[in-house]
A and B are shown apart, each in its own frame.
Chain A
Amino acid sequence: MSDDIKPRLRVPTTAKKGEVVEIKTLITHPMENGQRKDADGKIVPRLIVNSMKVSYNDKPVLDAKLEQAIAANPFLSFFLRVEESGTLKLTWTDDKNQSWSAESKIEVA
């Protein structure tokens, strides 16, 4: 299952100094909410991505804590103020403590 899980990012590659840019993210994950029943009527145990941490040049930007009410394949978008060229890094973690990371470079022109 975990092989199917892929994070995706949409990040501008360049920005002006001080520009606030929009970052869009998506991770393919079923987000089992612990309410659903399988064909045999057994409850499928909860397994969701419960955290997404974002840093820029290793400085924290934001930390999102997801609950069961977030839709499958969680799409999350937010903003970042770019003062210098650097690397945006995102890490997602699920209930089984599996984690996935993605990086993207932004160049200040």
Chain B
Amino acid sequence: MTRMGTLNRRSALLAIAAVIVARNAQATPDGVKEWLAARVKGKGAPKDGKVTLKAPEIAENGNAVPVTVSVESEMSEKSYVKAIYVAADGNPNAGVITWEFTPLAGKAEVQFRTRLAQTQNLVAVAEMNDGSLFTASREIKVTIGGCGG
């Protein structure tokens, strides 16, 4: 009986701990802003346009959601995309990936696979070499979250 009691207490404590972790481990739109602010060095607020964010509307498996980000740019020495930042507002951490380019890339289009814990918004910000910023965002519905457990 004593053994039973300890087990129950332990599982109860674990359950409480899990709830606390789950509550703390959550990015928010503010988390996305902070993550971007720590990295993006361009001027002013990002404008809509130039950035295309392609991803499935509904992701059945949040473990690997394919995403394509492309930015309109001639990618010449004079005018090129310096960086693309991608963040998510419903994951334990806001950051997803940062790409830094030189004009040698020839085309500012990248693909990757992301993990999404739940239905959330994906945000991409492009920083041009003249410091101007462009952004796009997209909601992805997730059926099964991809953050282990």
A and B interact: yes
Interface of A toward B, CB cutoff 8 Å: 20-21, 33, 35-37, 41, 56, 59-72, 74-82
Most chain B CB atoms below 10 A, which of A68, A74, A77, A79? A79
**CB atoms of B63 and A72 under 8 A apart:** yes
Instruction: Choose the segment among B1-9, B45-53, B105-113, B129-137 that binds chain A (4+ C-beta atoms closer than 8 Å).
Output: B105-113
Q: Inside 8 A of A76's CB, which chain B residues have their CB?
A: 110-112
Q: Inside 8 A of B113's CB, which chain A residues have their CB?
A: 70-71, 74-75
**CB atoms of A81 and B75 under 8 A apart:** yes
- Residue-wise, chain B 88-119 has the 8 Å CB interface mask toward A (1 for contact) of 10011101111111111111111111111000
In the complex, A59 Cα to B106 Cα: how many Å? 13
In the complex, A34 Cα to B106 Cα: how many Å? 35
From A63, A64, A67, A79, contact of B95 by CB (8 A) = A67
In the complex, A34 Cα to B96 Cα: how many Å? 14
Nearest chain B CB to A6's CB is how many angstroms away? 17
Given known contacts A35-B148, A59-B102, A72-B63, A65 and B97 CB-to-CB distance under 8 angstroms: yes
In the complex, A71 Cα to B97 Cα: how many Å? 11
Interface of B toward A, CB cutoff 8 Å: 14, 25, 63-65, 75, 88, 91-93, 95-116, 146-149
**CB atoms of B102 and A61 under 8 A apart:** yes
From B25, B95, B102, B111, contact of A62 by CB (8 A) = B102
**CB atoms of B112 and A41 under 8 A apart:** no
Nearest chain A CB to B8's CB is how many angstroms away? 15
**CB atoms of A61 and B111 under 8 A apart:** no
Q: Inside 8 A of B75's CB, which chain A residues have their CB?
A: 81
**CB atoms of B97 and A66 under 8 A apart:** yes
Most chain B CB atoms below 10 A, which of A20, A36, A56, A67? A67
From A37, A60, A67, A82, contact of B93 by CB (8 A) = A67
**CB atoms of B149 and A62 under 8 A apart:** no
Q: Inside 8 A of A61's CB, which chain B residues have their CB?
A: 101-102, 104-105
Nearest chain B CB to A1's CB is how many angstroms away? 17
Most chain B CB atoms below 10 A, which of A21, A35, A56? A35
In the complex, A71 Cα to B63 Cα: how many Å? 6
